[in-house]
Amino acid sequence: MTVRAPHAGGRVRPFVEADIPQVAVLHGAVFGLPPSTRQPKPYRPYFTDVFLMNPWRTEAVSSRVYEEADGSITGFLGVVPRRMSMNGQPLLAAICSQFVVHPNSRGLAGLKLLKSVFEGPQDLSLTDEANEMTRTIWEGRGGLTAWPHSVRWFRPLRPWRLAVSWMTQRGWPAPVTLLSRPLARIGEVVTARLARRVFPHAVSDVLGEDLDAATVLRHFPRFAADRMIHPDYDARSLQWLLERAALMKGEGHLQAVAVSDRGRGVLGWYLYYVKAGGIGEVVQIAATADTVDAVLTHLIDHAWRHKLIGLSGRLEPAFIRHFLKHGCILHSRSRYMLVHSKIPAVAQALRSGNVFLSPLDGEWCLRFQEA
């Protein structure tokens, strides 16, 4: 199957199961995936589970396709409704993901797809892994960039090995990178004390235990209490999110750890991926201003003991000084959180960063993974 160029007279309509073969080809072509991956078989369970059978599904807030007059599909915008809360009141959100448009149709189809979604009944539309092109389209339709949530943090753990990894990823000659590896191991031993001064690494004195959905449901209200907007979790939907997150095998093995001590009980938790010798991606940190230092200390120590060379994640604006205190470096990689809302207070909350919205609550679990 090939992706056909667009024709005049196209329309936006809801995405249905019969569209999966065409959307699979379109998605694979736009993202440059191998032809074997563009077939319906690997895509069918993904599109069915995420966009047609997710726990929050409703016809009122659904994914969209752009269909040409001849029946060919030249655009797709995945939408997953989510229940959230704003100052104790229910808030319906639409998480947008996998925004793909045929190159010959990007001006018209993309704008119409986004317009159709924005006109839905949700209180908030959100995407949090957008590139510059999507940001331009989104803002052109009245959306805005949530800058506090478009900043990332990075915490080096083994700087010498990190440098070797950086050289390898950027295509340095193989003899240079091979020679650098033993030198990096020697360098880490020689400069261990200096590295600890620059990037302090304390051994955590609190307890870490496996985090389960029941613990999250029991304690989440306490950690989200001071945020204007936060997810409204329930047992079924939270379990779905955790299972989707665990499928991201390319990131490593998902670690979900509850941090506690005997005096204060659960202090918070973190979810991140472990891949020995790699950089661990952190997808959620829950804590209060009084407990976040203990949670970050335990996370850094946990990652060190699992032989990671660094940690990375999206900044939680409420804890910016704590991230800096623990040796984190702030940066941007041109991946933006974009929002659109007809309610001014919603847009203001996201613009100011006064929300609890981790990658777990956005597009992260909506990524394509072969079953």
CATH classification code of 11-149: 3.40.630.30
| Percent of the chain topping pLDDT 90 | 68
Rounded distance between C-alpha atoms, residue 205 and residue 214, angstroms = 24
What would the pLDDT profile of 218-259 be if each residue is shown by its tens digit?
999 999 999 999 999 999 999 999 999 999 999 999 999 999
Here the tokens at position 257 are 């750890």
**Across the strands, what pairs with 127?**
338
**DSSP character string of 221-278:** HHHSTT-SEEE---HHHHHHHHHHHHT-GGG-EEEEEEEEETTTEEEEEEEEEE-TTS
Closest CA to 25 of 45, 7, 44: 44
The region of weakest confidence among 117-126, 156-165, 210-219, 344-353 is 156-165
Q: How does 66-77 read in b/e, with b if 16+ C-beta sit within 10 Å?
A: bbbeeebbbbbb
Of 9 and 370, the structure prediction assigns the larger pLDDT to: 9
Helices (H) and strands (E) in the chain, counts: 12, 15
For residues 79-86, give the mean pLDDT: 97
Q: pLDDT category, 160, cuts 50, 70, 90? A: low
CATH classification code of 152-157+199-331: 3.40.630.30
Secondary structure of residue 16 in the 3-state scheme: coil
Report whether pLDDT(302) > 70: yes
What would the pLDDT profile of 28-49 be if each residue is shown by its tens digit?
888 877 766 666 777 899 999 9
Report whether pLDDT(112) > 90: yes
For residues 293-304, give the mean pLDDT: 95
For residues 268-297, give the mean pLDDT: 95
Rounded distance between C-alpha atoms, residue 37 and residue 45, angstroms = 13
Rounded distance between C-alpha atoms, residue 278 and residue 285, angstroms = 20
Closest CA to 338 of 88, 111, 129: 129
Report whether pLDDT(341) > 70: yes
What would the pLDDT profile of 134-151 be if each residue is shown by its tens digit?
999 899 889 999 999 999
Closest CA to 206 of 87, 316, 294, 84: 294
Report whether pLDDT(14) > 60: yes
What would the pLDDT profile of 314-329 be if each residue is shown by its tens digit?
999 999 999 999 999 9
Enumerate the CATH 3.40.630.30 domain ranges in the chain, comma separated. Answer: 11-149, 152-157+199-331
